[in-house]
Structure 1
Amino acid sequence: MAPELFTLPGLGWAITSYGLAVAVALVTAWLVSLLLARRDKLPPEVLGTVFVLSAIAGLLAARAGHLLQQGQGLELSHLRSLPAGGLAVFGGLFAALAVATIGCRRFQVPTLAWLDCWAPAVALGGVIERVGAFFAGADFGMYVGPGDLGHGLGVTYPAGSPAFLLHTAAFPGLPGLTETTSAPVHPVQLYLAATCVVAAGAGFLLRRFRRFSGQPLLAVAAVFLLGRAVVFEPLRFDASPLTLGPLRLQQVSGLGLLLAVAVAWWMLSARAAAQPKLARQWEGGPWTPRA
């Protein structure tokens, strides 16, 4: 665990592992998405602006969503901060998608064509962000004891970490808890990072074999939602309550979104069968920059 990396000389600004990871994730997603946009005959200069605006909206919405969930006010000082574990992922993604849609319509660029570039790039950035959360000790998993599935993957965090503070305050007799380390927990941040790797891979692979615009986007969304519902949500330390048999609230909502993705796939596939040329927006159109 390394929540703080170094302090800038003369300025006194602390560079945190999570803040650096988010910055690297955003730059990586920005560069990759624009590279893919060029390959898909989309205007990268315009879409670079759309990406920046959607990223700002996504971060603000994610931060505001987390503050509201915690019953805190939306003071400017709170919104400007970016602590590890202080973001509501789905709220941020929906806000980013909304701004991206508005931006594409404003500049007359097909939204699905841009999102086919955006989605795998953002999934790639998600890998970096989740690794940053792991090193910051945020969003850690449930206790995993001897005999539990995944015990060999369990990690401990040092004194002063969120996991250590939770265990010493609420579970002082937890096996494995010491004066210097937390009890072993699931590294769910890395589980979700692995999910993002698979999601990004699915998006990049499907771009080579796609039949209609929107197919890579939906593939990335499906893998992410499924992995989050199956692996991340049930093993996080602050897992939502059970609402439908063995399923937790966040799992039910995630599976509902997965169903929406399946419906969207079916609708776009049907439209592609009826109008194949209109469905292949990556082949160019009025929005394509002139050579």
Structure 2
Amino acid sequence: MFPVLFSIGPLTLHTYGVLLALGAALGLWLLTHLAKKQGLDPDRVMSLSLWLLISGLVGSRLLFVLLEPAQFKSAPWRVLAIWEGGLVFYGGVAAALVVGLILMRRWRLPVLTLLDCAAPALALGQALGRFGCFSAGCCYGRVWEGGWCAVTFSDPLTLAPRDLPLHPTQLYTAGALLIILGVLLLLWRHRRFAGQIFFAYGFLHGIARVIIETFRADWRGEPFLGFTPTGWFALGLAVVSAAALIYLQRKNAAKQGG
């Protein structure tokens, strides 16, 4: 595809970096928009969002480096080159959750309400980030000979295998995230309890990722018992989110009944 938008002398503008930044900006906008509707302090929410963004980028890059250390042995400085691709979503989620929970507790913000606001924003930012993956060629799919929507990467700078028909797993993920975004925004209108949106996101995203992972070839670490590390993370996210939804729903029903 188009890993590089343009180059001027030593300056190179990578498509992945541009779409990642655009996804972050739109995600922050949606988060603050939803938080304002909940009557939360927009300045405090923006401060929290920036901390979440930074910790998420650091966590996602750190997990990628831990899973793929061989890529950085000859050029350790490339650990910082996130604009070239190479982020593991679940590492970012873990880091952002830890930092976010600490700050929300310190600033006395409603945790589950803020997580509900963050879920649609996260889905939107991720979707644009996956289009960035498609442009860079990372997170590519398995070879798909004769596939009706197979894609072939030919740019010399792509991270995907060149001149082979591949499953467009980046687009599968982006499409799934946009559908999840629509479901979450629709569910928002009928939200019955705090945490419902966030854990619905976790369940839907986990299931979608487990399915899409079966078509992917650019793994983050070697498979174990039939699942890649990302597949295991996704499965765990779906199970935990489903359990949380059941618990919160029962708690809410008991509260209303009492």
After superposition, the C-alpha distances for 1:112-152 in whole angstroms (9 at most, x for unaligned) are 10111111111011111111111122211110013xxxx00
After superposition, the C-alpha distances for 1:144-185 in whole angstroms (9 at most, x for unaligned) are 013xxxx00101011523333xxxxxxxxxxxxxxxx51110
Q: Does 1:270 align with 2:250?
A: yes
Task: From the superposition, tell whether residues 46 and 186 of structure 1 become closer, same or farther in structure 2 (CA, over 3 Å).
Answer: same
After superposition, the C-alpha distances for 1:228-287 in whole angstroms (9 at most, x for unaligned) are 1012x111113465544x55554344223211111111111122123359xxxxxxxxxx
Are the aligned partners of 1:116 and 1:214 in contact in 2 as well (CA < 8 Å)?
A: yes
Identity value in percent: 31
Q: 1 CA distance for matches of 2:87 and 2:184?
A: 24
Amino acid at match of 1:199: I
Q: 2:18 aligns with which of 20, 26, 34?
A: 20
The alignment's TM-score, normalised by the length of structure 2, stands at 0.90
Q: 2 CA distance for matches of 1:276 and 1:5?
A: 55
Q: Does 1:187 align with 2:151?
A: no
Corresponding residue number in structure 1 for 2:2:
2
Are the aligned partners of 1:212 and 1:276 in contact in 2 as well (CA < 8 Å)?
A: no
Amino acid at match of 1:15: L
Q: 1:157 aligns with which of 153, 171, 176?
A: 153
Q: 2 CA distance for matches of 1:116 and 1:8?
A: 42
Corresponding residue number in structure 1 for 2:207:
226
Q: How many residues align?
A: 253
Q: 2 CA distance for matches of 1:193 and 1:218?
A: 19
After superposition, the C-alpha distances for 1:5-34 in whole angstroms (9 at most, x for unaligned) are 12468xx42111000001000000001100
**Structure index of larger Rg:** 1
Q: 1 CA distance for matches of 2:229 and 2:107?
A: 38
After superposition, the C-alpha distances for 1:32-55 in whole angstroms (9 at most, x for unaligned) are 100000111111110100010011
Corresponding residue number in structure 2 for 1:178:
none
Q: 2 CA distance for matches of 1:251 and 1:76?
A: 27
Amino acid at match of 1:45: D
Q: Report deviation, 1:79.
A: 4.2
Are the aligned partners of 1:8 and 1:14 in contact in 2 as well (CA < 8 Å)?
A: yes
Q: 2 CA distance for matches of 1:96 and 1:252?
A: 19
- Which secondary structure does the structure 2 equivalent of 1:152 belong to? coil
Give the root-mean-square deviation of aligned CA atoms.
2.3
Q: Does 1:257 align with 2:237?
A: yes
Task: From the superposition, tell whether residues 159 and 78 of structure 1 become closer, same or farther in structure 2 (CA, over 3 Å).
Answer: closer
Amino acid at match of 2:88: A
Corresponding residue number in structure 2 for 1:209:
190
Q: 2 CA distance for matches of 1:55 and 1:39?
A: 21
List runs of 5+ in structure 1 lacking aligned partners: 165-180, 278-291
List runs of 5+ in structure 2 lacking aligned partners: none
Q: 2 CA distance for matches of 1:183 and 1:79?
A: 28
Task: From the superposition, tell whether residues 26 and 76 of structure 1 become closer, same or farther in structure 2 (CA, over 3 Å).
Answer: farther
Q: 1 CA distance for matches of 2:152 and 2:76?
A: 34
Q: 1 CA distance for matches of 2:56 and 2:228?
A: 25
